[in-house]
Amino acid sequence: MQLEKLLKQPDALPSIPKVVRKLIDTFDHEDVDAMLVASLIEDDPVLTARLLKTANSAFFGLTRSVYTARDAINVLGLIKVRALVIAASFGEGFHTVGGVNLNQFWRYSLNSANLSRYIALPIKMDENTAFTAGLIHGVGELVMHVGMPEAMIDLDRSVPMLDLKRSKAERGLFGYSYAEVGAALAREWSFPKRMINAILHQTAPFDNEVYEPMAGVIHIASWRARAEEQQMRSEVLINTYPDPVGLVLGIDPDTVVAEDIPSLSRQAETEGSSSP
């Protein structure tokens, strides 16, 4: 199915909730009132409930429970809470997706977000863009599964969704991958251009005319999060590390190649444990 046709499939692109549109607008503001953001979130009870469910999950390992959006911002910070609410809206839009283990998908996405921020901070890149783009970078997979379920289930059997060769397999079959689809959704929802470019170019960050270093951050973070889902050990991690991307960004490979690094959750998969 051509990309244009996929994007026109019923329910392929969920509509943006009003509160999320307002949250996306705040990305362009240097000084954001955290309490104003909290009040915006609390205007939507469904998204608030999903936010609190994720914030209180084992993934974040909080020492105390949070009960309101304001509480969540005080404990987790504005950057994480805003991104989690946006992801929760995707979770609501893709409540069930045939052939996709959503608990695993969102755990992987949360790990990618944490890793993106972990990678971005030492090289002085925007942690806000890193965390948010890392969290939603793979949502194109959900669009593809909703829009063309039979083709995707066939692909899932041969190349699992979180396989390192997934984007290459999708391009071979369809001429595009989850990256182009996710960028189309981000564009539809009016995300900042830098975030759209990071999602669009994540699979081949520097093989295009747009130089967006954040795409490289997402590339390495998602590689490491996929490796974690596949339980790769040191030798395989070293052999699959995307060294050319790391060199361009000036990343110390030891910070992501080690088996045990910060920002990775190894919580056992439980019902709803990490689904925004």
Q: pTM, whole model, 2 decimals?
A: 0.93
Q: Is the pLDDT reported for residue 15 higher than 60? A: yes
Relative orientation angle of helices 213-229 and 193-200, to the nearest 10 degrees: 50
Mean pLDDT of 65-74: 95
Confidence of residue 270 (pLDDT cuts 50, 70, 90): very low
Q: Identify whether the C-beta of residue 189 lies closer than 8 Å to the C-beta of residue 143.
A: no
Look at residue 140 and give its three-state secondary structure. helix
In a domain, 105, yes or no: yes
Is residue 172 situated within a structural domain?
yes
* Residue 101 belongs to domain spanning: 3-14+95-257
Residue 191 included in any domain: yes
How much is the pLDDT for 276? 77
What percent of the chain is helix, strand and coil (3-state, nearest 5)? 65, 0, 35
pLDDT score recorded for residue 267: 55
pLDDT of the residue at 65: 94
Q: What interhelical angle do 178-188 and 140-147 show, nearest 10?
A: 100
Please state, rounded to an integer, the average pLDDT across all residues of the chain.
Answer: 92
Residue 230 lies in a domain: yes
**Range with the largest mean pLDDT of 58-67, 112-121, 201-210:** 112-121
CATH number for position 246: 1.10.3210.10
Q: Is residue 208 part of a domain?
A: yes
- Stretch 242-252: mean pLDDT, rounded? 94
Tell me whether residue 190 is in a domain: yes
pLDDT for 55 equals 93
Residue 215 domain-assigned?
Answer: yes
Q: Three-state SS for 151?
A: helix
In a domain, 196, yes or no: yes
Domain count, the chain: 1
Report whether pLDDT(133) > 70. Answer: yes
62 pLDDT higher than 80: yes
% residues pLDDT > 90 (the chain): 82
Q: Does residue 91 carry a pLDDT above 80? A: yes
Band of residue 245 on the pLDDT scale cut at 50, 70, 90:
very high
Furthest-apart CA atoms within the chain: distance in Å: 49
Q: Under a CB-based contact definition with an 8 Å cutoff, are residues 226 and 162 in contact?
A: yes
Q: Tokens in use for 243?
A: 């060294």
Q: What is the pLDDT of residue 269?
A: 43
